[in-house]
């Protein structure tokens, strides 16, 4: 599977604090190995799983985080199985990654919809 990045995630990645970059790079490398990584990557223990807040979003949004050593950033992504793409939606600090506001949910859904529109594919997932 290929990794693709939203414009928002590219901005997120550019603004990462230096101490978090190694962990986020390990998370992205883990995603290159498969859509739901769990294990040791670049000496970071990585886990992935669904994000309950976005379980109604289709395709569902997942997160990757480091378990050991703990870091504060989460990579939010979805898997576009028919096109063999893992799409990085955003890279956020834990405190902002799961905001329960309707505005944040609309923001995430907008990124998902924009991905399909940019690729020229119909977004018929709702």
Q: What is the CATH number of domain 2-119?
A: 3.30.2310.20
Please tell me the distance from the alpha carbon of residue 103 to that of residue 108, in angstroms, as a whole number.
Answer: 9
Helices (H), the chain: 7-14, 18-33, 94-97, 102-119
pLDDT of residue 78: 94
Q: How confident is the model at residue 7 (pLDDT cuts 50, 70, 90)?
A: very high
Each domain of the chain, given as residue ranges in start order, spans 2-119
Digit-coded pLDDT (tens) for 74-125: 999 999 988 899 999 999 999 999 988 999 989 999 999 999 888 887 666 5
Say whether pLDDT at 126 is over 60. no
Torsion of Cα atoms, 81 then 86 then 88 then 93, to 10°: 100
| Predicted TM-score (pTM) of this structure | 0.92
């Amino acid at each position: 599977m290929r990794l693709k990045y939203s414009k928002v995630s590219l901005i997120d990645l550019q603004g990462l604090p230096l101490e978090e970059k190694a962990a986020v790079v390990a998370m992205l490398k883990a995603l290159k190995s498969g859509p739901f990584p769990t294990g040791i990557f670049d000496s970071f223990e990585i886990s992935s799983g669904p994000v309950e807040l976005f379980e109604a979003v289709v395709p569902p949004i997942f997160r990757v985080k480091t378990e050991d050593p703990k870091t504060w950033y989460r990579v939010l992504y979805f898997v576009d199985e028919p096109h063999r793409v893992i799409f990085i939606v955003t890279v956020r600090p834990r405190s902002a990654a799961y905001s329960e506001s309707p505005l944040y949910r609309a923001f995430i859904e907008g990124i998902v919809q924009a991905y399909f529109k940019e690729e020229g594919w119909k977004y018929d997932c709702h």
